[in-house]
Structure 1
Amino acid sequence: MIRMEIALFLVMGMVAFIYFSSEKKITKLHRTFSVLLVTVLVYLAFDGITVYTVNHLDTVPPLLNNLAHRVFMGSMALVIFLFYRYIAILVEEETGKPRKMDKAAWVILVLSELGEWLLPIYYTQTKWGNYSDGIYTYVCYASVAFYLLLCSGMLFGNWKKINAKKKFAIGAALIFELTVCMLQGLHHTWLISGMGITLMTLAFYLTLENPDIIRAELTEQKMSMLYLKSQVNPHFLYNTLDTIRIQAELNGDKKVADLLMHLSDFFRMSVKVDRQMVELDDELDLLDAYLELMCYRYPSLHCEYDIDPDLGGAKVPNFILQPLVENSLLHGLKNKGYKGEIVISAEKNGEDMLLTIMDTGSGFAEGKKEQVNNLLANYAKQAAKMEGNSIGILNVQKRIKLLCGRKYGLWYAYNEKGGVTAHLLLPLKEAGK
C-alpha cells in the first residue's frame, strides 16, 4: 500500500515542480492553488508515513505514531479547506457573487484542527490491516463532508453561470473525492484517501492551472490585441489619404500639416502593442487623433469629451476605445450621413471607473441591442469577431475580462437622444499601482 503513496507523492512533486517553474500571471486563484500544491505534498508525505506506522504498532513508538497521524489528519482537513477556497474564488470570479460561507469555513477548520491535536487517538487492528479510529477521525471526516457539501452547493447553485470547462473541473474533482471517500468508508483498511486528494488536484491542474493553458490565455490577450489593431478599417486610411491629397492639391496650407500630424499620431500610438495597460490620457490622445481626422472628413460630425480630471492617470486596456467609437460611426451615424455627435465620458463609479461612448446615430434595429448584449455576456463562447462589419467588440470584451477581471466589461444601452451608448466598467487603478 505504501508504494501507492510514494507514487502519488512523486506525481504531485513533478506537477508542483512544473507549476512553480513556469511563467504565470499571479492572481488570488493561482496563489491559492500554489498553497494547495504545497499542502498536498505535505499531506501525501505523512499519508505514506502513517500507512507504515499504523501497520507497525509493535515497533513504532506510540508518541511518534500519534504525532504522524495528527499531522496527517490535520493536513487532510486543511487540503479540503483549500479546495473549498479555490472553488469559492473560481465561482466568485465567474458569477460576481461575493463568498458568503468563508467565516463558517474558517470556524470549521479551526475546530477540526483543534480536534486533531487534542482528542485521543485509537487504532483498530484487523487481519487485513490497521487504521486509526474514534472521535478524532470523525471530526476530520465531518469537516471534509462539510467542505464537500459547500463546494457541491456552489457548483449546482451557479450551474448556468459557470464556464463549461470550469464546471467540468469542479464536477470531476468532487466526483473523484466523493467516490474515494465512499470506498474508504466501506473499506477502512484500504487507506486510499491520498488517491482522492491527488485526483482532485489533477482535475484542476490539467483543466485550469496547467502552464500551457495559462500561457494560452496570455497569448490570447496578445493575439486579441494584434487582431484589434489589424481591424482598423483600411478604407479609413485610403479615404483619409485621399482627403489629404485633394487638400494638398488645392492649397497646401496648414490644414494639410495638421491632418498629417493627426494621422501620424494615430498610427504611432496605435502600434504600441507591447503595453497591455496604458493611462487613460494616453488612450484619449490616440482617440483624439482618430476623431480629428474623422471630423475633418465629415464636417457635420461633432465630438465632445466629459472626462473627470482625476482619472487621467487611471489604467485602461490599450486600444480599447477606438474600436467602439468606430462602431458608433459605422453603425449609427453613417445612416445619418455622419451628422450628429459623439460624446466620450469618464467618471468614478464607486471604487471603479465608468467610461461611456454616446452617439446620436440611428440606434439599434429592433432586437439588436439584446442580441449584442447577449453576445457580450457569453463572450467566452463566441468567436473572436462579430458578424458583419462590427469591429472588435468581442475582442474588447475578452481583453477587459482577461486584464481586469470578470466583474468588469462592456455593454450597450439606448440613450435619450435616440442613439446608442456603450458602457465600459473598469477597475480604478492609478498609474504605477
Structure 2
Amino acid sequence: MILISHIPNSYQDEIGELIDGINDMTYSIKILLKRNEAVCKLSSAIRFEMLCQQINPHFLYNTLDIINGLILNGQKDEAVRVCEMLGLMFRYNLNGEEDSTLEQEIDHTKQYLEIIQYKIQGLNTDLVCDESIRKLKIARFVLQPLVENSIKHGFAQKRGECLVSVCAQDEGDRISICVMDNGAGMLPQTVDELENMKWAVQKGIPPERNQTTAGERRRRIGLRNIYERLFVKYGRSLEFRIETRQGFGTRIMIDIPKERG
C-alpha cells in the first residue's frame, strides 16, 4: 500500500480545509500502519516465546531429576504428584489462547511452585487473589515467569528462609498484582536498565547488550519479555513498577485495567 505524502496547503478556503483533512487522515493511517507492523512483529516474537515456554529444557531436566530422586528414595506418591503437576503445566502451556483468567494464572503458578519446593528446601509461598477478580481475563504467562524470575535470580545465593508471594487485588476498575520475594535484590545498574527497557519498549526500540553479568542480563531479558507482552495488550494504561533493595528482596507491582471475558 502506497500513501501519498504530505500535501502543501496554501489555501484558506474549503479546498484548504479538505487538504488539511487529507493530511490529517494520511498521518493517522501512517501511524496506524507503523503500530500494526510493530504489533505483528511482536506477536511473532510472543508466539516464539510461548513455544519456548512449552519446552523449557532446564525446567524439564530439573523436574525429571526431582522425580528420579523421589523414586530412588522410595517416595512414590510424591513422584506421582510431581508428574501430575508437570502434566498440568504443559497442558496449560499448550493451550493456544492468548489470555487466561487470573485463577488459571495462579493455578499454573501454584503447580510450578509445588514442583520447585521439592528442590528448594525452606521455600515458603503465599498466593492470594480477591474472589471478585478470579474469573477476569489477563495476559497469559505473567505470574509464573515473574515467580520463576524471583526464584532463579533472587535465591541463587541465599541462605535461610526463602519467601515468594503473589497478591492480586480488586481495585475498582483495575487489578493490582504484586509479586514479592525476600531474595538478593537487584543491582542498581540493573534497575536503571529495566527503567530504560520500559522506555525502549514504549518507543519500539530493540534491546541492546551491555556489560552486566550473564545472570543479570537474563533477568532483564525475562522481565522485558513480560513487560513487552503486557504493554502490547494494555498500552499506556499499564503500570509496571519495580522496588528492590540489595540483600532484602524485590517487589514487582503491576496495575492493569479490568477486562471481562
Scaled by the length of structure 2, what TM-score is found?
0.83
Q: C-alpha offsets along residues 358-387 of structure 1, whole Å, 9 cap, x if unaligned?
A: 000011223432332232233234436987
Structure 2 counterpart of 1:260, which letter?
A: C
Question: Please, which runs of 5 or more residues in structure 2 have no aligned partner?
Answer: 210-215
The structure with the greater share of residues assigned to strand is 2
The reply on whether 1:204 has 2:47 as its aligned counterpart is no
Counterpart selection for 1:301 from 120, 123, 129:
123
2:39 aligned partner: 217
Query: Which consecutive unaligned segments of at least 5 residues does structure 1 have?
Result: 1-10, 16-172
Distance 1:204 1:192, change over 3 A: same
Counterpart CA distance in 2 for 1:237 and 1:339 is 25
Q: Does the CA contact (< 8 Å) of 1:351 and 1:427 recur in 2?
A: yes
- Deviations along 1:360-419, one digit per CA (max 9) or x if unpaired, are 001122343233223223323443698722253112212212212321142211379921
Could you say what the CA RMSD is over the residues aligned between the two structures, in angstroms?
A: 3.1
Paired position in structure 1 for 2:218: 389
The AA in structure 2 aligned to 1:352 is R
The one of 335, 347, 355 equivalent to 2:157 is 335
Structure 1 stretches of 4+ moved >4 Å: 190-193, 384-387
Asked if the contact 1:408/1:427 (under 8 Å) is kept, the reply is yes
Select 1:275's aligned residue among 97, 115, 124. Answer: 97
Where do residues 38-117 of structure 1 align in structure 2 (5 Å cutoff)? none
Residue 254 of structure 2 corresponds to residue 418 of structure 1: no
Match of 2:187 among 362, 365, 369: 365
The answer to which structure, 1 or 2, has the higher relative contact order (CA under 8 A, 6+ apart) is: 2
Percent identity, please: 22
Contact 1:270 1:286 in 2 (8 A): no
What is the distance in 2 between the residues matched to 1:201 and 1:329? 49
Partner residue of 1:349?
171
Q: Are 2:71 and 1:248 equivalent residues in the alignment?
A: yes
Q: Structure 1 residues 306-315 or 391-400, which shifts more?
A: 391-400
Aligned amino acid, residue 233 of structure 2: L
- Secondary structure of the residue aligned to 1:378 is helix
User: Would you say the 8 A contact 1:400–1:409 is kept in 2?
Assistant: no
Shift of 1:352: 0.5
- Pair 396,347 (structure 1): closer, same or farther in 2 beyond 3 Å: same
The reply on whether 1:404 has 2:234 as its aligned counterpart is yes
Q: Contact 2:158 / 2:183 at 8 angstroms: preserved in 1?
A: yes
One of 8, 11, 18 as aligned partner of 1:184: 11
- Number of equivalenced pairs: 252
Letter in 2 for 1:254: D
Cα deviation, 1:199-253, whole Å, max 9, x if unaligned, reads 3322221x2233x852651452353143155157522211210121122123152
Residue type matched to 1:383 in 2? P
Distance 1:204 1:362, change over 3 A: same
Give the aligned partner of residue 112 of structure 2. 290
CA distance in 2, matches of 1:247, 1:293: 12
TM-score under structure 1 normalisation? Answer: 0.52
> SS where residue 347 of structure 1 aligns?
strand
1:340, CA displacement in angstroms?
Answer: 0.7
Q: Which structure has the highest helix share of the two?
A: 1
Contact 1:385–1:395 (CA under 8 A) maintained in structure 2: no
Aligned to 1:374: 196
